[in-house]
Amino acid sequence: MERKEEIIQAALMLASKNGIDNVSMSQIATQLGIKKPSLYNHFRSKDEIVKAMYDYLRTQAKEKLKIKDLDYGKLVKDKSLEEVLKLMVHNYCKMSTQSEMFSFYKIIYSTRTTNVVAAQIMCEETEKMILATKNLFYALQVHQKIFVKDIDQAAISFTMTIHSLIDYQLDRKSAGNKFNEDILDNYICWFSKEFGGKDEKNIDYTTGRYAGNPDPLGAAGHYHPDPRPQAGGGQSHQGYQGTIPRG
């Protein structure tokens, strides 16, 4: 194990016991049996360690579960909307609840209202979920597996509902209360029935195309980037491009 990994693991262990706000660089150094100045050869601050911890643990969780980059076009081609959504949501849940990743999320969740770095990490994770879902939904739309007027808003709505249901399940589990283990699948089933069939009101009869993302393939059959700006400014995501990392 490299020194950076050792520092991350030591910080995670201390944060799990005491909370991230109560962990200092001195404590991390003591845990590792090294002098505090040695930490600064690898990380400039505790905040930098926490950010690195997020990237490292997320990557490790994906590797352990063998979650690799996906070609969304191939993924959705021979599956129903419900099958695709269940596969993606179940994979995300497995990654998020993988032992060390889950411990990290519990730490971050408990301090996100008071710790700027924790809040930034949660925002980044949510934005990754939204972007991945948008790219998936564009692929589903291209293959005529989903029919909605506004594909971007549908992706945001789906993502945030899944996000909230996962939080709700974890809160009930932490509180020792019973929870409906089928709640995610039930929502996906409902969503698929609502938006997985062709609906005449979603078709633009002046062009003969679906209203959400007109002519996603274009004359040459290439996938077009979405040129619309994101909320808050800046360039939007690049739409469906085929092989895209999950999250």
Q: How confident is the model at residue 1 (pLDDT cuts 50, 70, 90)?
A: low
Look at residues 91, 45, 48, 46 and name the one whose alpha carbon lies nearest to residue 66: 91
pTM, rounded to two decimals:
0.75
What is the structure's pLDDT at 241? 42
Digit-coded pLDDT (tens) for 122-164 = 999 999 999 999 999 999 999 999 999 999 999 999 999 999 9
CB 154 within 8 A of CB 89: no
Q: How confident is the model at residue 61 (pLDDT cuts 50, 70, 90)?
A: confident
CA neighbor of 166 nearest in space, from 247, 215, 94: 94
